[in-house]
Chain A
Amino acid sequence: METRNIAVNTTAAEIRAIVKQHGRLTTLVDDLADDSDLYQAGLTSHASVNLMLALEDRFEVEFPERMLRRGAFRTVDVIRSAIQELTEGAA
């Protein structure tokens, strides 16, 4: 299997792009820090489902049940480490 080595910055930028497209935030994504709370920025549980699906599609991962708790997608940082954990596990 191909070893993935996703540069941290690229991932964060891609996550932001997906959050922008699917998160339906009330705050501009560009104004958020990597550790800003997405729920406080207006991420609803409905939008978070679409966000997860888009992330799964883009990074070719499937978030296991334990990662689907509310809070698992609280910030860009948290999403990035979740994706990292899954892609490294698959490597």
Chain B
Amino acid sequence: MIAAALGTDPVRIAQAVGAAVAGPAAESVDQDARFPAEAFAALRDERMLGAMVPQELGGRGATFGEIAAVCQELGRHCSSTAMVYAMHQIQVGCLIRHGRTAPFLRDYLTELTAKELLLASATTEQGVGGDVRTSICAIDQQGSRFRLIKQAPVISYGEHADGILATARRSPDAAGNDQVLALLTRRDFKLTETSGWDSLGMRGTMSLGYTLTADAPIEQVLPTPYGEMSSQTMLPFSHILWSSLWLGIATDAVNRGRGFVRSEARKKPGTVPPSALRLAEVVARLQTMRAVVQGGIADFERNMDDVEVLSGLGFALRMNNLKITSSTAAADVVRDTLGVIGLFGYKNDSKYSVGRHLRDAHSAALMIANDRIYSANASMLLIHKDD
């Protein structure tokens, strides 16, 4: 649909979908706090939802680095599209890396690829104080099926998802941290809305709260304990893919700043506009952010299959630091870019507007609050030795 000449490079496809579809719709998605439906229709047309699924299961077999680059490209045009895409790929990553040994889940990956299914996640729960490594709800097995009722303060794009991966205690008598991850397909679950999503930014992610009620075959519970998936896949996937799309947001804001400074310079050839100095500062900060994100991608790709490294404290600290650094940098870079552009950046109806970027970027420090991450790091540093 976009252009047959794009070939199969997922990054080029993301650039095209971003520029032609996601970007033009971003304002309306933001204004109406609605799902970026046209962007996802285009991504589905280009078979981008199953992009990371290995070729033997029908996917493109895109690398993790390519998926991160896709998130960045989409983030340059529509933060909500990029965030929904990133969250989907985090779920797909869990299935690919931890579910492939189970026949049902393997078949599901093939189905996901063939039908371009969109996956959401239900990891947070009312009453655990934001700690995703603790669950109250439990898998209640009855014969070959299980029931699950979860009070989820947030299930982003839940109503638009074809499947949900939910955390729960292994059984009704299991400890709070003895968690598993269960795949719920559209026919297995029901969502009852409990809270809305009229937010400052990231409005198109539709992160409403729900009561999730499910009844599904027991084979849809992933065989690996959630604790292992959390450190080996959820943590690196989330922090890197989020950071990549935040980099995309910051990059587009800075590009608007560059456009503004060039237009100022053209008005008075021969003089460097005062805003150029601040721009130079912002560009340096953006470069640092880019290096940190690329370093995180390289770190994970290098150690992807090394369970020892992935479950070590050093790796967890590095991924946590990546999240803290890039989420802080994203908001700082956009704010400073607003300073470069001035009123034309502050106005919503200007082509140099960075208002939406600023609102979206401020979500970064809150998605798993940076203070929570610092506390976890502080605790790990009490026993961590090498670096």
Interface residues of A (CB under 8 A from B): 25-27, 39-46, 49, 52-53, 56, 62-65, 68-71
Chain B contacts for A46, CB-based, 8 A: 376, 379
Nearest CB to that of B307 among chain A residues? A69
Known: A49-B382, A52-B383, A53-B382. A69 touches B311 (CB 8 A): yes
CB of A65 within 8 A of CB of B308, answer no
B-side interface mostly: loop
- How long is the Cα–Cα vector from A69 to B178 in the complex, in angstroms? 17
CB of A26 within 8 A of CB of B176, answer yes
CB of B133 within 8 A of CB of A26, answer no
Interface residues of B (CB under 8 A from A): 133-134, 170, 174-178, 227-228, 231, 308, 311-314, 376, 379-380, 382-386
CB of B383 within 8 A of CB of A40, answer no
In the assembled complex, how far is the CB of residue B229 from the closest CB belonging to chain A, in whole angstroms? 12
Chain A contacts for B382, CB-based, 8 A: 49, 53
Looking at the complex, which one of A27, A52, A69 makes contact with B312 (CB distance below 8 Å)? A69
Chain A contacts for B386, CB-based, 8 A: 65
Looking at the complex, which one of B231, B314, B383, B384 makes contact with A70 (CB distance below 8 Å)? B231
Q: Which of A39, A56, A70 has the most CB of B within 10 A?
A: A70
Known: A39-B227, A49-B379, A70-B231. A65 touches B385 (CB 8 A): yes
In the assembled complex, how far is the CB of residue B272 from the closest CB belonging to chain A, in whole angstroms? 51
Chain B contacts for A39, CB-based, 8 A: 175, 177-178, 227
CB of A62 within 8 A of CB of B385, answer yes
Chain A contacts for B227, CB-based, 8 A: 39, 70
Looking at the complex, which one of B231, B313, B376 makes contact with A65 (CB distance below 8 Å)? B313
In the assembled complex, how far is the CB of residue B308 from the closest CB belonging to chain A, in whole angstroms? 6
Chain A contacts for B314, CB-based, 8 A: 65
Jot down 13 A-B pairs with beta carbons below 8 A, ordered by A: A25-B175, A39-B177, A39-B227, A40-B170, A40-B174, A44-B176, A46-B376, A49-B383, A64-B385, A65-B312, A65-B313, A68-B383, A69-B308
Looking at the complex, which one of A26, A49, A64, A71 makes contact with B380 (CB distance below 8 Å)? A49
- How long is the Cα–Cα vector from A71 to B178 in the complex, in angstroms? 13
CB of B175 within 8 A of CB of A71, answer no
CB of B384 within 8 A of CB of A68, answer yes
Nearest CB to that of B225 among chain A residues? A39
Query: 4 closest A-B pairs (Cβ-Cβ)?
Result: A42-B175, A26-B175, A65-B386, A40-B178
Chain B contacts for A49, CB-based, 8 A: 379-380, 382-383
CB of B176 within 8 A of CB of A42, answer yes
- How long is the Cα–Cα vector from A80 to B175 in the complex, in angstroms? 23
CB of A42 within 8 A of CB of B383, answer no
- How long is the Cα–Cα vector from A63 to B386 in the complex, in angstroms? 11
CB of A44 within 8 A of CB of B383, answer no
- How long is the Cα–Cα vector from A43 to B176 in the complex, in angstroms? 9
In the assembled complex, how far is the CB of residue B328 from the closest CB belonging to chain A, in whole angstroms? 24
CB of A27 within 8 A of CB of B379, answer no
CB of B134 within 8 A of CB of A44, answer yes
Nearest CB to that of A65 among chain B residues? B386
- How long is the Cα–Cα vector from A53 to B382 in the complex, in angstroms? 8
